[in-house]
A and B are shown apart, each in its own frame.
Chain A
């Protein structure tokens, strides 16, 4: 089955630690996106990548980093510089010429 997988579903970390969230897709999509969801704020774009080895900052990139070494994978690192990292993180992908994004199941990160 084609789709987007994010793992793990729940992640707990201590403050001051970097943590990497996984996002994998087997849809052969070129573009991939990371969003953060907070209550009452909808989804906000963190980073996006239109093609392998290239990525751009979204609206709230501070404290995050990404890489895009493979077409299938777009991991997101939440660094210790992110002031409020506890949130629900969603990954999405989009095929070239497609106007719709497809979302993964999300990872809920809790930092204490």
Chain B
């Protein structure tokens, strides 16, 4: 149980385009989902927290207009990187939790912006 999936696992896009990453909880209802970013040789950094049906709460320094988060259902959250640039290339990881349970993480999406 407690499986979280992400799609795609790997994406390459051109500078200036937008890319959407999906995060799904497969066997539980994710009342809260989190989005992290991890640069090479660094630890995970929390970008934003989203509760189903509510606007996401962004961490300091994360541009909400650039990283659009939608958590429209209890099993799906999406992260859209708008007008992507090479510096947005990173490993994006989502996690989900049901109520006050522990967080379960997706496998990650590696984004490369050329």
Same complex for A and B? Answer: no
